[in-house]
Chain A
Amino acid sequence: MDHLTYIIASYGLAVAMVAAYGITAWARMGRARRQLTAIDPRGRDRT
C-alpha cells in the first residue's frame, strides 16, 4: 500500500475525533441522568 503514512494519519485522526466526541457526549449524558435521578427520582422513567 503506497502513501501509507497519510492514510494511517487520516484514519487515526478520524477515529480519535469520533471517539473523543462520542465518549464526552455519553459521559455527559450519563452524568446528567444520574444527577437528575438524584434530584428528582420521578424523572427516572422520563430519561
Chain B
Amino acid sequence: MAPPNLHRFANPGQFLRLSGRILPWLTWGGLIFTVLGLGWGLFVAPADWQQGDAVRIIYLHVPAAWLASAGYFGLAVCAVLSFVWRHPLADLAAAELGPVGAGATALCLATGSLWGKPMWGAWWVWDARLTSMLVLLFLYLGHIALIRAFDNPERGYRAAAILALIGAVDLPVIKFSVDWWNTLHQPATFKFTSAPTMYQGMMWPLLISALGFSLGFGAIVTARLRAAVMERRIRGLLMARAQEAA
C-alpha cells in the first residue's frame, strides 16, 4: 500500500497535469540560474592563487558530481518505491533518470579529467575518488542495460531496481573517499560539520550554478518521464483498439 502523500502522484493523468505545471518553472529556473552561476564563475569570480583560471572548471565539475550522486540516490529511492509500494511510476522514473544521471557522471569525469591535466599533469589517476566515481558510471550503465535486457519489461525493471539498491553502497564511498584514503583529489569543500572554507566570491557562483544544474536536471528528467507516460498510454490505446478490431 502506498503512503497517502504518494497516491496523488501515482495516477499517470494526475502526474501529467502536475508535471505540466511544474516543468516551465524547472526549465526557466534551470536556465536562468545556470547561466547566472556559470557567467559569474567564468567572468566575475577571481582566479585561484594556486590553480589560476583552471579553477573555473569547478563551476561545472562540482554540480555534475553532486547530480551524479543525487541521481543515483534517486534510482535507489525509485527502487524502494517500486519494491515496497508498487508505485506505478517508480520504474518508469528510474528508466528515465538513469541515462540523465549517467550523463552527469560522464560530465563529472570528463571535466575532472580536463581539470586534472593542467593541475596534476595527468588526465587520469587511479585515485579513490576518481575510481569510485568511475564505478558509479558503470553502475548507471549496468542499470540502463538491465532495463533493456529482458523481453518482459517488468523483469528488466526488477533487475535494475536490485542493482540500484546494491549500487547505492558506492555513494558513501564516493563521499568519504577523500577522508578514508590519501587521495590526490582535494578534500570536500562543503562539510556537514563545519562552515565552508571557500572564499565567498567563489562559493556563491558555485551554489547558484549547482542550483541551476539541479533545476535543469529535474526539468530534463520530468520531460523524459512525461514523454514515457504518454508513450505508455499510446501503446495501451493502440493495443485496446487492436483487441477491439480482432
List residues of chain A with CB under 8 Å of any chain B CB: 1-4, 6-7, 9-11, 13-14, 17-18, 21-22, 25-26, 28-29, 31-33, 35-36, 39-40, 43, 46-47
Which residues on the B side are within 8 Å of A18 (C-beta)?
Answer: 34, 216
Bin the interface of chain B by size.
35 or more
Q: List 18 A-B contacts (CB under 8 A).
A: A2-B47, A2-B52, A2-B54, A3-B52, A6-B54, A7-B53, A7-B57, A10-B60, A10-B115, A11-B42, A11-B60, A13-B107, A17-B106, A17-B107, A21-B220, A25-B227, A32-B227, A43-B233
Which residues on the B side are within 8 Å of A29 (C-beta)?
Answer: 223-224, 226-227, 230
Which residues on the A side are within 8 Å of B54 (C-beta)?
Answer: 2-3, 6-7
Known: A10-B114, A22-B220, A28-B227. A35 touches B57 (CB 8 A): no
Stretch from B12-20, B74-82, B86-94, B161-169 contacting the other chain = B12-20
Evaluate contact between B230 and A36: CB separation under 8 angstroms: yes
A25-B103 Cα distance, complex, nearest whole Å:
13
Evaluate contact between A4 and B53: CB separation under 8 angstroms: yes
Main secondary structure of the interface of B (DSSP, over half): helix
A46-B226 Cα distance, complex, nearest whole Å:
11
Q: Is B237 located at the chain interface by the 8 A CB criterion?
A: yes
Q: Is B131 located at the chain interface by the 8 A CB criterion?
A: no
Evaluate contact between A39 and B237: CB separation under 8 angstroms: yes
Main secondary structure of the interface of A (DSSP, over half): helix
- From residue 84 to 119 of chain B, which have CB atoms closer than 8 A to chain A? 100, 103, 106-107, 110-111, 114-115, 117-118
Q: Is B238 located at the chain interface by the 8 A CB criterion?
A: yes
Question: A14 is contacted by which of B60, B115, B118 (Cβ under 8 Å)?
Answer: B60
Which residues on the A side are within 8 Å of B61 (C-beta)?
Answer: 10
Question: A47 is contacted by which of B20, B42, B115, B220 (Cβ under 8 Å)?
Answer: B20
